[in-house]
A and B are shown apart, each in its own frame.
Chain A
Amino acid sequence: MKREERDGKRRLCRSMLYIPGDSPGMIQNAEVFGADSILLDLEDSIAESAKDSARKMVRSFLSGFDFGGLFVTVRVNSPDTAYFERDLREIVPCRPDAIRVPKCGTPADIMAAKALIAKIEQDSGIPEGSVKIHAMIETAIGVENAYLIASASERVSALTIGGQDLTADMFARKTREGWELFYARSRIVMAARAAGIMAFDTVWADINDSEGLFSETKQIVELGFDGKAAIHPSQIEVIHKAFRPDAREAARARRIVEAAERALREGKGVISVDGRMVDAPVVARAERLVEIASLYEYEEDNTL
């Protein structure tokens, strides 16, 4: 059985908004921005001189603030820095939904992070395995090891691609279409699916280019990603728009799911929708579309 099934229903995280850990004004308004999840950042958006205050701030919010239904992930500093262990020691006891671990290159990186997190969970008396790992793949070696990283531990519940570092590590030239990341994205989403975990895409850096963001998000939706990171609240709506199944697609998916349920009730093995045979993978894909479509409003007329 795949892990996502074992863990119960997968949570939809189309958008993940990065919020600098040292910005209380933004953190307290996190829910207002409308993202499906937030990433409280201790890494790149925080200056060296503010690492301590960001860590404290995130810890304080996690232990004393109600984020409502938001999925909250904390991006800690990279394991090759002195901050990594201190970040984990302060943050893990507050039980964020997940820790985003930068620069995962090998399964050994996961095992090291996992051992540390498990030790902290034990020391602070919280159930082992409470805090998941979202492994960031942002090096060439990480891309090549993607499946090994994804399947290294039950604790890894998502792979996420860090486009800027990866582009630099590849010596690639950045294109607006992002095709230098096509292989890495494909590989990462495949590895994540093979391991039964989620896959998240990198940020779109140009906050003034929402057209570029929209077409890139469309592309990663088509590749199979579950969500995309945002670096500005204005990007959330664009990302959600790109995840929106079109009305006909959503209506057809609904008909497939209904037909499958009916077939199950009536004990029929073969399903036909709109005169076409439908098999299990099509039903699975339709269920996923229906789930995503439930987040959007459709005009009745267009859904028929």
Chain B
Amino acid sequence: MKFHHKIRTEVSLLTIVAASAGTLESSDCLVTVVPAEVDGIRYEGANRAIFLNRTEKIAREIMERYPIENASIRIQDQGALEVTLRARIETAVERALEGARQ
């Protein structure tokens, strides 16, 4: 799986460090982003079967907005709404970028 279908190699990809956002409280999710050899999404939660496709689609859509090197995302879902999921993924990715800048 590749997050950056649209971004060609001439665009220099930004490096990231491991970072996370969110909690394991009910209605929230914990998202962890780490640098990886290949892009990947790991989705865990009680309703994994129901929300797997939705979650992967959202994660991929968000990742495509950021020109970052390969990353692996782990999402531990505690029943988060889509708006929550989006906020947590974006925060984790931006923290991963911010951490690499420092």
* A residues lining the B interface (CB < 8 Å): 24-25, 28, 52-53, 56-57, 59-61, 63-65
**Which residues on the A side are within 8 Å of B94 (C-beta)?**
52, 56
State which of B1-9, B37-45, B82-90 sits at the interface with chain A. B82-90
Whether B86 lies near A60 (C-beta < 8 A) is yes
Assuming the A-B contacts A52-B94, A56-B91, A60-B83, are A25 and B22 also in contact, with contact meaning beta carbons closer than 8 angstroms in the complex? no
Chain B 50-102 interface residues, beta-carbon cutoff 8 Å to A: 80-84, 86-88, 90-91, 94-95
**Which residues on the B side are within 8 Å of A64 (C-beta)?**
82-83, 86
Task: Beyond A25-B26, A28-B84, list 15 extra A-B contacts (CB 8 Å).
Answer: A24-B28, A24-B80, A24-B83, A24-B84, A24-B87, A52-B94, A52-B95, A53-B22, A53-B91, A56-B94, A57-B84, A57-B87, A59-B87, A60-B86, A60-B90
How far is A53 from B23 in the complex, measured between Cα atoms in Å?
Answer: 11
Total residues of chain B contacting the partner, CB 8 A: 18
**Which residues on the B side are within 8 Å of A59 (C-beta)?**
87
Assuming the A-B contacts A24-B80, A64-B82, A65-B81, are A53 and B87 also in contact, with contact meaning beta carbons closer than 8 angstroms in the complex? yes
| Prevailing SS type, chain A contact patch | helix
Chain B 14-41 interface residues, beta-carbon cutoff 8 Å to A: 21-22, 25-28
**Which residues on the A side are within 8 Å of B21 (C-beta)?**
53
**Which residues on the B side are within 8 Å of A61 (C-beta)?**
83, 87
Whether B84 lies near A60 (C-beta < 8 A) is yes
How far is A24 from B28 in the complex, measured between Cα atoms in Å?
Answer: 6
A65 to chain B, nearest CB (A): 5
Max count, chain B CB within 10 A of own CB: residue among A24, A60, A64 = A24
B78 to chain A, nearest CB (A): 9
**Which residues on the A side are within 8 Å of B22 (C-beta)?**
53
Whether B83 lies near A25 (C-beta < 8 A) is no
Whether A24 lies near B27 (C-beta < 8 A) is yes
**Which residues on the A side are within 8 Å of B27 (C-beta)?**
24-25, 28
How far is A60 from B83 in the complex, measured between Cα atoms in Å?
Answer: 5
How far is A57 from B25 in the complex, measured between Cα atoms in Å?
Answer: 15
How far is A64 from B81 in the complex, measured between Cα atoms in Å?
Answer: 10
How far is A28 from B87 in the complex, measured between Cα atoms in Å?
Answer: 13
**Which residues on the B side are within 8 Å of A53 (C-beta)?**
21-22, 87-88, 91
**Which residues on the A side are within 8 Å of B83 (C-beta)?**
24, 60-61, 63-65
